[in-house]
Amino acid sequence: MSLLLPAVIETERLCKAGARFNVGGTHTSRTLMSAELAELLQSVPIQATTQEYEHAIVSENVLGKSTISNRKKTHKRMGELFGLDPNIPIFVVLRRLWEIDTAGRPRIAMLCGLARDPILRATAAHVLAMPIGSELVRTEYSASIREFVETRLNDGVLDQVARNSGASWTQSEHLEGRTRKIRRAVPASFGPVAFALWLGYLEGRVADSLLKSFWMRLFDASDSSIIEAIFRAKQFGLIHASIGGGIVQIDPSSVFKPTDQRSQ
């Protein structure tokens, strides 16, 4: 099973915001770590520096890891996926949206992970193409990942990527179940929709092309539900939007406010 999703357009703005391309994937060894992210953001103030995130994970052990080595590895992997740095715009946006849309947190974390882990991004086509209610077939899923990584990963690491990414798509609520993973419908709440529109904007998309980006494929929602989420985001001052008479005007540039970045 495959689906040609819109390509992620590697632009200077997207890279400067913290998106990553042509780097090793965190999912060779870890999942999205959504539970750890939730615990960390609850423990560390929104004004925290990157050093304070490291201190919380490694020194204070707020994530309850058993060894110093595991704490350091967890900090490194979470930094790869999310940034954990107030000078990285994608992390600043994640932190802002995390506070105001609790229902959207699983998709907010996934969008950040997709932007920063190319291997996780490569698994999206297969998962998002699955009909709602269908079961993830491991052999087909692994084969779709192999198409992306080619010979860069051996079979053992590829199997680990399949397991870890499958768990991540479960954390984002696109899949459910432990042994048998079933595709489920994912709603479009305003926080992750605003995040997706902003990532599309960084690619250079405008107007209705913002609604057709890779990032917007994350939602299994009707057009009316997407529009509702867009205007909800507008109410929170995240975006500017006007849709009517067949004309779509969306400006998601204010999802990220440069004044929200704090120097270390």
pLDDT value at 213 more than 80: yes
Q: Could you give phi then psi for residue 173, rounded to 5 degrees? A: 75, 15
Whole-prediction pTM value? 0.94
Phi/psi of residue 118, nearest 5 degrees: -60, -30
- 49: amino acid identity, one letter: T
Q: Return the closest-CA partner of residue 79 out of 18, 17, 123, 28.
A: 18
- Least confident interval from 56-65, 234-243, 255-264: 255-264
- Name the 3-class secondary structure at 183: strand
Give the pLDDT of residue 2: 47
Phi and psi, residue 240, nearest 5°: -110, 135
Residue 260 has pLDDT above 70, yes or no: no
Mean confidence (pLDDT) of the chain? 93
Rg (CA), the chain: 18
Model confidence over 74-96: pLDDT tens digits? 999 999 999 999 999 999 999 99
Structural tokens at position 106: 């699983």
Q: 243 versus 19: which is more confidently predicted? A: 19
Cα gap 165→163, rounded to integer Å: 6
Q: How do the domains of the chain map onto residue ranges?
A: 1-264
